[in-house]
Each structure stands twice: as C-alpha cells, then as structure tokens.
Amino acid sequence: MGIFIEKTNHTPRIRFENGKLTLSGRSIPEDSIGFFEPLMNELIAYAKNPASHTEVNLMLEYSNSSTNRMLVSIFEILKEVQAAGHSVTVNWYYVVDDRGMYELGNDLKDISTLPFALIEVEDFPE
C-alpha cells in the first residue's frame, strides 16, 4: 500500500508509504479534488488498517485555498486513525521569514486538533 506522485510546477510531490506521508513543493492545481483523489482513496483504505504511528510531513512552498481544504480533509481521516488508538503527528515545515506559510500552518494546527509541530527551516530539502 502506498502512492507516489512526482511534483510539477503546480502540484506537490506526494509520497505515502509505511505510515509516512510527505507533501512537498507548490500546490496550486486547477482541480484540487481530482489531483488529491488518489491520495484520499489511499488514506481511506489506510485508515482501515493503519500503522501504529502515522507521520505527516508538509513542506509546501505555497498552497491555494482549495489545497488547504483538501489538507483539512486529510486531517479528518487522520483524526479517525488517532481515535482508533493509533498515534499521528503532523510536521508543518516553513521557510524562515515566510510569515504567510507560518500563519497557515498555525491555522491548520488549530483546525486539525492533531499533534502538530511548526518547524522553521532555512530551505526545503529536494
């Protein structure tokens, strides 16, 4: 069980395997629902038999409002995983001085109610 989608100029790289989900890059797809559908389907299946720990690493340079709504939907699935007795952590990485992405991470932290770390970095790894 897993999924890998390579990033483009408008969509993030998505890697999800063995309980570890990483999204990195820009996320401004024209059709967020269509773009994220394979990941959502994978997460729904994963939630039925999750790993003991699920780690989410979000390293987004920028995300549009429709992506942010999809992130909230991802968090809803992960809350079900947590409610079933499995641990979940979310790591929101933002580049130093990127106030907008820091504030978005802080807002998503409040919305998600999951264990959520805001992690400042000099730059995102490739």
At 54, which helix (H) or strand (E)? strand 53-63
Amino acid in the structure at residue 62: Y
Domain edges within the chain: 2-121
pTM: 0.94
What pLDDT, on a 0 to 100 scale, did the predictor assign at position 1?
65
Amino acid in the structure at residue 39: L
What pLDDT, on a 0 to 100 scale, did the predictor assign at position 125?
75
| CATH class, range 2-121 | alpha beta
The answer to whether 3 and 42 have CB atoms below 8 angstroms apart is yes
Local mean pLDDT, 10-residue blocks, the chain (126 residues): 92 96 96 96 96 97 96 97 97 95 96 94 83
